Structure 1
Amino acid sequence: MPCYEFDGVVPVVHPTAFVHETASLIGDVVVGAGCYIGPFASLRGDFGRVLVGEGSNVQDSCVIHAFPGRDAVLEPASHVGHAAVLHGCRIGSYALIGIGATVLDGAEIGADALVAAGAVVTANTVVPAGGMAMGCPAKVTGQLDEQALAWKRNGVHLYQQLAQRSRESLRPVAPLQQEEADRRRTTWSADAAEPLHVKRSARG
């Protein structure tokens, strides 16, 4: 992985974490045990500190940064979707930051909360534990039900498994020139995870 010392401060990555080789860690970054840091994620600790708590995931093309003397904190088991941007905020355990969402300085996302895809959480906004926020600027629209909470937690656990499986089996290869006749799939079971709207429609 591209990992850079800055101003005498070296990133820390727990040996059980997985950090993709294209992710970039700069300066005062601490990645905890069992974390997953996806391709092209940028964790820049050149101003403030970036703390990624145990069992958290930071997916593809995310950016995490903070102002000088401030921290960007992901508490244990945080779940940060593709291309999200976090700046000087705090994300609670089992909170889900949706795809392409932005969370700005001083914002606090409570444990088990959900920030919808594409939402913009403005500075100093507080999303309560178990709450859902959506829109631009994001507004709290209510509390998540038990099905949504369980679905969200399953996503965290799936990425914890992905971190372990990536450490064990991800390796660079040359691509095949054509698809095999009986091409196998990865060994995830088909019911390991599915979109929440699919889960809800199956229930109804």
Structure 2
Amino acid sequence: MIYEFQGFIPVVHPSSFVHPLAAVIGNVIIGKDVYVGPGAAIRGDWGEIIIEDGCNVQENCTIHMFPGKSITLKKGAHIGHGAIIHGANIGANCLVGMNAVLMDDVSLGDECIVGALTFIKGGTEIPNRKMVVGNPAKIIKDITDDMIAWKTKGTALYQKLPGQCHETLKEVEPLREIPEDRPAAQEALYQTLEEFKNK
């Protein structure tokens, strides 16, 4: 659902997909080819949230901040299931792992990878191309070209997903038995995965 708040109406590019079970509130700008999954909460009630082109905000993520802050998820940022971005700025082509928490005034450099369940305390600055893990978070190594190529390919799958959702996702009643002609595989997904492997 998309909600106006104090005169701010979210802006969502038509190529992007916001699941109806997500909540996007107020001062939010969503660029091109962005996927927002069910259960995500993007609350632009206390400040501006900009989600640039090609990002994805997966299921049950929360994006919010303290009053008066504005935050940006730069192009190609990949926010894994259940992650919390609270007043943090995310660099271009970053991967934030599942259930990670990034607190206020964190600055995550470009092409970083944050491990699942990592906690990055407020005010932390992470330089470009670092691997960050743990609670409290620690930088453990540099990101290699191969690692960022792997991340970029994974994000490309999510950049195709908004178009696939616009074309085929619809609310239905469940079937009560398995039909004889049920497809053996999700062909579109497997084709995309083959492209992923072959790049």
Q: Distance in 2 between matches of 1:42 and 1:87?
A: 11
Report the aligned-residue RMSD. Answer: 1.6
**Which residue of structure 2 lines up, in the alignment, with residue 72 of structure 1?**
71
Residue by residue over 1:121-151, the C-alpha shift from the partner in whole angstroms, topping out at 9 and shown as x without a partner, is: 1111122211100000111001122221111
Which residue pairs with 1:98 in the alignment? 97
- SS state of the match for residue 45, structure 1? strand
Alpha-carbon distance in 2 for matches of 1:6, 1:90: 22
Does 2:133 match 1:142?
no
* 1:113 corresponds to 2:121: no
Structure-2 residue corresponding to 1:87: 86
- 2:57 counterpart residue number: 58
* Aligned residue in 2 for 1:186: 186
Q: Kindly state the Cα deviation for residue 87 of structure 1 after the two structures are TM-superposed.
A: 0.7
Residue 117 of structure 1 aligns with an amino acid whose one-letter code is A
Give the deviation of 1:178 after TM superposition: 2.0
Q: What letter matches 2:92 in structure 1?
A: S
Partner of 2:124: 125
Q: Which residue of 2 aligns with 1:202?
A: none
Q: Mind listing any 5+ residue stretches in structure 1 that lack a counterpart?
A: 194-198, 200-204
Q: How many residues were matched structurally?
A: 193
Check whether the contact 1:108–1:126 (CA below 8 A) recurs between aligned residues.
yes
Distance in 1 between residues matched to 2:30 and 2:73, nearest whole Å: 10
The residue type paired with residue 119 of structure 1 is: T
Q: Secondary structure of 1:179's match?
A: coil
- The answer to whether the 8 A contact 2:37-2:57 is kept is yes
Structure 2 unaligned residues grouped into runs of 5+: none
TM-score (norm 2): 0.92
